[in-house]
Amino acid sequence: MAAKNKEKVQYTCQSCGFVSLRWLGKCSECATWNSLVEEKVAAPDRQKGKRLTSASHEPVALSDIIFKNEQRICFASAEFNRVLGGGLIPGSLVLIGGDPGIGKSTLLLQEAALQASEKTRVLYVSGEESNQQIKIRAQRLGADSDHLFVHAATKLDDILGSIAKLKPGLVIVDSIQTVYQPAFESAPGSISQVRECALAFMAVAKAENMPVILVGHVTKEGFLAGPKVLEHMVDTLLQFEGDRNQLFRILRAGKNRFGSTREIGIFEMREQGLQDVENPSSIFLAERTNDISGSVVISTIEGTRPILVEVQALATTTNYGMPQRTATGFDAKKLSLIIAVLEKRIGLRLGSFDVFLNVVGGVRIDEPAADFGVAVAIASSVKNASVPGDTVLIGEVGLAGEIRMVPHLDKRIHEASKLGFSRALVPGMKDENIVQPKNFRVTQVRTLEDALQTLF
């Protein structure tokens, strides 16, 4: 009688997803100690292998492929559609992550209720709330529909059975970390469970041409929990940013196979749920006080639209041997670089100052066009001299202290003009003429030193 096969195990790194056949104290990929956990490997399905080998799919010439221009599924939220690239593509797999309480479930539930109709049934799967809890939240949001179906389940087979029975036009799973496959004995949320369940949802989405939206948890560092391969499997990766104690939420695309990753959606949390912010610039500048040192308005481009935000800097005498450099909404390394340029090229001695920088409104700025405003805000705080309240700063700062060109300058200037600003400091250009709006003055500066002499 043949001996019974032993149960196979593997060891998976919780940090990077590296798989090893034996236990290691230190991961050979990410060099993290004690991060490998034991997972039992499910027995292979022999029939599955036979089906794959007997499949009739053959390579097809690219010129012979018939392409149909898919009609995107548009949500009621214009900001949500903007981040998705104009709407949701049928058959796509979308992953939304963010801190607890930031509004992931709120946004999806209210959009699911508005999307549900007689032609499009929506299935909302919740592994964290009961049907009664979802009903209470839906009443608070004013979301209700006879074609929105709620299923409180965590077992993968039950969820796939509901999808096969209802044949919905949209599936929302909240969250992927709570779904488990009984064939794997590891706990829900483990690397193998998240990977296999996400793979099953991806197969359903592609086979049925049905969009599936997954909600993902994040770790305390802000990264999506689970294996890194989860981010590679999905078609679109969306990330909520902002503090849950603030009113504004920012939805940013980290990956999008069907649109741009530069677009952001801005929402405001209200009693009725997340509402679109149609004019972000006016909201971010609503509480700005003029004639305050260290306060500067800059113009940034997020995707295709310009947004004006306020940058605040505070430089105080340090009480420690090592001065502090703290930035909120801005890259700390870039802040240190700008401080070095101010010391070397302008002569500001910042070695005895603590420098604190804040981008108002919870926005995070990644583009170089903010460099000019950050440098001037720091200099303004050190000199205790305010920048005129009707002035917008646009430009990149080079290591030699020069002000460099940035794209979409006309868009930035016209957005400033619409919001009541009357002056902009921009990089100096030799052969290019700037179209100035009516009652608006554009001042060109070539170096950071020239800009500070002009402002102060």
3-state SS of the chain?
CCCCCCCCEEEEECCCCCEECCCCCECCCCCCECCEEEEECCCCCHHHHHHHHCCCCCCCCHHHCCCCCCCCECCCCHHHHHHHCCCECCCCEEEEECCCCCCHHHHHHHHHHHHCCCCCCEEEEECCCCHHHHHHHHHHHCCCCCCEEEEECCEHHHHHHHHHHHCCCEEEEECHHHCECCCCCCCCCCHHHHHHHHHHHHHHHHHHCCCEEEEECECCCCCECCCCHHHHHCCEEEEEECCCCCCEEEEEEEEECCCCCCCEEEEEEECCEEEECCCHHHHHCCCCCCCCCCEEEEEEEECCEEEEEEEEEEEEECCCCCCCEEEECCCHHHHHHHHHHHHHHHCCCCCCEEEEEEECCCCCCCCHHHHHHHHHHHHHHHHCCCCCCCEEECCEECCCCEEECCCCHHHHHHHHHHCCCCEEEEECCCCCCCCCCCCCEEEEECEHHHHHHHHC
pLDDT of residue 235: 96
First to last CA, the chain: 93
Asked if 279 and 305 touch (Cβ cutoff 8 Å), the reply is no
Q: Report residue 45's pLDDT band, with 50, 70 and 90 as the boundaries.
A: low
Task: Reply yes or no on whether the pLDDT at 167 is more than 90.
Answer: yes
Please report which residue ranges of 74-147 form alpha helices under DSSP H: 78-84, 104-115, 131-141
Task: Reply yes or no on whether the pLDDT at 253 is more than 80.
Answer: yes
Residue 65 to residue 209: CA distance in whole angstroms: 17
pTM (predicted TM-score): 0.77
pLDDT of residue 57: 62
The model's pLDDT over 350-370, given as tens digits with 9 standing for 90+, comes to 999 999 999 998 788 989 999
**Least confident window among 71-75, 216-220, 341-345, 424-428:** 216-220
CATH number of 72-278: 3.40.50.300
pLDDT of residue 392: 96
Task: Reply yes or no on whether the pLDDT at 127 is more than 90.
Answer: yes
Give the position of tokens 């979802």: 134
User: Domain 283-455, what fold?
Assistant: Ribosomal Protein S5; domain 2 (3.30.230)
Query: For the residues 45-70, what does the mean pLDDT come to?
Result: 63
Query: For the residues 63-70, what does the mean pLDDT come to?
Result: 77
Give Dmax (Cα) for the chain: 94
Delimit the domains of the chain by residue range: 9-41, 72-278, 283-455
DSSP character for 119? S
pLDDT of residue 46: 47
Residue 421 to residue 424: CA distance in whole angstroms: 8
Task: Reply yes or no on whether the pLDDT at 259 is more than 70.
Answer: yes
Q: What's the whole-number average pLDDT of the chain?
A: 87
Same fold, 72-278 and 283-455: no
